A and B are shown apart, each in its own frame.
Chain A
Amino acid sequence: MSGTSSLGAPTARTSAPSAGHGRRRTLRLAGRTGQYAGLLCYLVFLAFPLVWLVSTSFKSPQELGRIDPTWLPQHPTLENFRAAFEAQPLARSALNSLIVAGGATLISVALAVPAAYALVRHRSLVSTAANGWVLVSQMFPFVLVIIPLFLVLKNLHLVNSLGGLIIVYVVWNLPFSLWMLQGYVKAVPVSLEEAAAVDGASRPRILRSVVLPLLAPGLVATLMFSFVTAWNEFFFALVLLKSPETQTMSVILTRFLGDEGVADLGPLAAASVLATIPSLLFFALLQRRLASGMLAGAVKG
């Protein structure tokens, strides 16, 4: 008996953990499935407007006037795209948007990186004050600053120029970029920099070879944020760019809207689809860097 029991016990002992293991695995699997189901719902929620937009852009006016709209256009047509291109200077405005968003993004990130580093690594009264100022600057609504800003830019002969708008976007994006990057800089352990210093690396070398690579994910996130903000921005662009040659995509899109909320729906959807493509491409290109950058940081940290 004792033999059996002694034999049985180990069996029981080995089988008990395996049963628990199985249960845990089932639980984990269920959890995972739940997670993915949740994610899928979220994805559908996020993707729905885009899918609807794309579908609308391929529908004919008659289909748009139907009371029971279909998910997919029944008679897909490129007519809306043709009409949109014919009616408005989309290519030129897209180029303007690209110049402005690209320029503003590069400059604001180039300024924000050293500033964030300095604010995090050299704690002083100044950095506290600077952070406070950054927060305060986020609280001004557009409408409050727009007229003074217009007058300042006018005196500098920067109204109606893409350069002027780039400056405005840089100033507008800088506080948040700074705020965002500070978090990433904080996450880079000082000990790593010290180790590099012990190995004889100079300050610029440390920044270039240690800090910057670890900041890559943060940089990418900030780049994306700045780009998308500048690309989508409407009000400053509307007010500051008066001549047709300089107007950006977001301003051109409003021309598909008529009086009292009437919209030229098909061409508007077509132009909007085109307007989202650069942002999507930008994300697709940088997204991989975002993930791999994080991984690199984790291993080294």
Chain B
Amino acid sequence: MRRAPRGTRGAVRAATATLLTCALLTSCAGGGEGDGDETVTLDYYSLAWQKESVAANKKLVARWNKTHGKVKVRYVQGAWDTVHDQLLTSFEGGEAPDIIHDDASDLTDFAYGGYLADLRDYLPEESRAAIPQAGWDSVTMNGGRVYGVPFLQEPKVIIADKKLLERSGVRIPTAGHPWTWQEFERAAKKLTRDKDGNGKPERYGTVWPMKEPVKQSVNLSLSTGGRLFTRERTGDGTKNTVRFTGRDAAISELIHRQVNKDRTAPRSGLGMGGSDTLPGFFAGRYAMVPLNFSFRQQVQQQAPDGFEWTVLPLPRGQREGENAQGVVPQTLSVAQESAHKKAAADFVAYMTTPEHQAALAKGDWLLPTAKEALKDPEINRREDGWRTGARIARTLRPSPTLGVRGYAEWSDKVATPAFQRYYRADTDLDALRDALVDDGNLILDRYQR
């Protein structure tokens, strides 16, 4: 009778020991953070998209892992389409990757939500010095905290049909001597062809793919000295308000004019995304298309044989200094919940050295942010418009939308429908202004209370 309980006790003890061991093992493995010899494994959530860029990322990670015995990095592939939902649920559930690739516009909510680490204490000095202040401005918010390293960016450029352009006799703009917007309008008129005079041109001088009208309207407004969002310092932080006066509205008015009055841009283009314009561009229906820099890759891939295209810089405003445009750089951040923020920040610094930035930028057909990286010979080569991009890099400024709390709601609920109606000529400029400013500020106030 006495042996059995002892046996049972033994079994219980053995089971407890096993359970404890298992629990210990799972707690070590589950966190993915370290094991006996204190090797740390960090998750790097990457949004690299093009094959070349994924390969460049993986190569850099492999090199890091080879040279860093104690800190290993695991490459985790994410996707642009789902990054926000994926990250939000990861943060809420406490399972966020240590190093996060995203873009600066998506950082605002996460930064104010306390999910991202302030990198000021972790980044080495050479990292800071390598990237111009304009880049840092795009990731600095919430009282001067820095929530990411801006490492890739893309300007808007004008991709043009080279033969049509040369035949039209207009001056070909260069990065050093770009068109003014007036010249652009004149060129568009010259390039538009309406042989039968029925008001429906067979060829339009340009096309405005306005599937996402807000981002474009705001970022382009910088080129005429506008910015739509004002920023003032108050007792409890920065306060943003919307304004939409002369210079802010100049580009929107130009687009409206080209589509509805001059008919140098088709109304059907307003509903298109950038990719949707390409078949028409190749077929000679549009002579010039304002597109993001990385679209060059698609153009190069899809252009029919013998089609010649060229990359022109974005036109500028008429006054001195009006040659900027807003961009939303891609960023690398560190999760606040990461147990190894310093190690993660070291990896971020490693990935964003000028040399590595250049490799990553080439893979995704983008521009790097570091001054040294922009000197890379391949980024400055003539083919596929690389040189134009590299030369206008200094005109890029952080998008005025960055760091504005409530921007996403303003954009979705108010600004998108308002701009769409205005560009389709369903409303006039005053109605657009009322919607953007009056309704818009109500929304922003709610976030900034």
Residues of B within 8 A of A238 (CB): 82, 85-86
Give the contacting residue for B80; candidates A150, A244, A258, A265; CB below 8 A: A258
Residues of A within 8 A of B95 (CB): 154, 159-160, 242
Residues of A within 8 A of B85 (CB): 235, 238-239
Instruction: Name which of B301-309, B414-422, B441-449 contacts chain A.
Output: B301-309
Which residue of chain B has the shortest Cβ distance to A87 in the bound complex? Answer: B51
Task: Decide: A260 and B212 in contact? CB cutoff 8 A.
Answer: yes
Instruction: Name which of B179-187, B235-243, B274-282, B369-377 contacts chain A.
Output: B274-282
Task: Decide: A255 and B302 in contact? CB cutoff 8 A.
Answer: no
Task: Decide: A259 and B80 in contact? CB cutoff 8 A.
Answer: yes
Q: Please tell me if A122 contacts chain B, counting CB pairs below 8 Å.
A: no
Give the contacting residue for B93; candidates A87, A154, A258, A259; CB below 8 A: A154
Task: Decide: A262 and B298 in contact? CB cutoff 8 A.
Answer: yes
Residues of A within 8 A of B295 (CB): 262
Give the contacting residue for A262; candidates B54, B82, B97, B274; CB below 8 A: B274
Residues of B within 8 A of A66 (CB): 279, 282-283, 304
Complex CA distance for A151 and B275, rounded to whole angstroms: 39
Give the contacting residue for B89; candidates A86, A150, A262; CB below 8 A: A150
Give the contacting residue for B285; candidates A67, A86, A157, A160; CB below 8 A: A67
Complex CA distance for A62 and B54, rounded to whole angstroms: 23
Q: Distance in Å from the Cβ of B128 to the closest Cβ of chain A?
A: 26
Q: Please tell me if B79 contacts chain A, counting CB pairs below 8 Å.
A: yes
Known: A150-B89, A150-B93, A254-B81. A61 touches B301 (CB 8 A): yes
Give the contacting residue for B51; candidates A86, A146, A235, A243; CB below 8 A: A86
Complex CA distance for A147 and B94, rounded to whole angstroms: 11
Residues of B within 8 A of A91 (CB): none
B: interface residue count bin: 35 or more
Q: Please tell me if B33 contacts chain A, counting CB pairs below 8 Å.
A: no
Residues of A within 8 A of B81 (CB): 254, 257
Q: Please tell me if B5 contacts chain A, counting CB pairs below 8 Å.
A: no
- The residues in B between 295 and 324 inclusive whose CB is less than 8 angstroms from any CB of A are 295, 298, 301-305
Task: Decide: B303 and A254 in contact? CB cutoff 8 A.
Answer: no
Residues of A within 8 A of B89 (CB): 146-147, 150, 239
Which residue of chain B has the shortest Cβ distance to A262 in the bound complex? Answer: B275
Q: Please tell me if A29 contacts chain B, counting CB pairs below 8 Å.
A: no
Q: Please tell me if A47 contacts chain B, counting CB pairs below 8 Å.
A: no
Known: A159-B93, A262-B298. A67 touches B273 (CB 8 A): no
Give the contacting residue for B280; candidates A67, A147, A160, A264; CB below 8 A: A67
Known: A62-B303, A262-B298. A67 touches B93 (CB 8 A): no
Complex CA distance for A86 and B294, rounded to whole angstroms: 22
Q: Please tell me if A135 contacts chain B, counting CB pairs below 8 Å.
A: no
Q: Please tell me if B211 contacts chain A, counting CB pairs below 8 Å.
A: yes
Complex CA distance for A265 and B278, rounded to whole angstroms: 13
Q: Distance in Å from the Cβ of B105 to the closest Cβ of chain A?
A: 11
Task: Decide: A62 and B298 in contact? CB cutoff 8 A.
Answer: no
Known: A61-B302, A260-B274, A261-B211. A255 touches B77 (CB 8 A): yes
Additional A-B contact list (17), CB under 8 Å, known A238-B82, A262-B294: A62-B301, A62-B302, A65-B282, A65-B302, A66-B282, A67-B279, A154-B93, A238-B86, A239-B85, A254-B81, A255-B49, A260-B292, A261-B273, A261-B275, A262-B273, A262-B274, A262-B275
Closest 7 CB pairs of A and B: A65-B302, A67-B283, A67-B279, A257-B81, A150-B93, A61-B301, A239-B89
